[in-house]
């Protein structure tokens, strides 16, 4: 499977496949990553399908940040659209869709 970015219509954000939520990062280009949903439709704070984390790892007692998140500034389901905003589907996320059964 190719790992080259998949450029999509600049006017439309790509819709996630059933069983996944879109996690969008950046604004130009904006990259759509995928997060697996559970049976109740929750993303549960899971990393993206390409294994990027969305939240920092914190010490359970002090809540001090031990490891920063891979994707600061992300949006679940929202994002930026418009004629000058390039939309990209994360090739690693979309390549892994068939590995899980939502």
C-alpha count within 13 angstroms, C-beta hemisphere, residue 101: 0
The per-residue pLDDT for range 48-65, each reduced to its tens digit, is 999 998 888 899 999 999
Nearest to 92 by CA among 13, 34, 24, 23: 34
The per-residue pLDDT for range 39-98, each reduced to its tens digit, is 999 988 889 999 998 888 899 999 999 999 888 778 887 888 887 888 899 999 999 998
The per-residue pLDDT for range 6-35, each reduced to its tens digit, is 555 555 788 899 999 999 988 788 899 999
Nearest to 96 by CA among 47, 38, 28: 47
């Amino acid at each position: 499977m190719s790992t080259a970015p998949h450029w999509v219509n600049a006017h439309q954000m790509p819709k996630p496949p059933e069983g996944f939520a879109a996690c969008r990062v950046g604004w130009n280009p904006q990259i759509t990553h995928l997060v697996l949903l559970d049976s109740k439709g929750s993303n549960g704070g899971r990393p993206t399908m390409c294994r990027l984390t969305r939240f920092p790892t914190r010490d359970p007692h002090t809540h001090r940040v031990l490891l920063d998140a891979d994707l600061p500034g992300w949006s679940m389901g929202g994002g930026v659209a418009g004629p000058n905003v390039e939309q990209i589907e994360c090739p690693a996320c979309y390549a892994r869709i068939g590995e899980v059964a939502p």
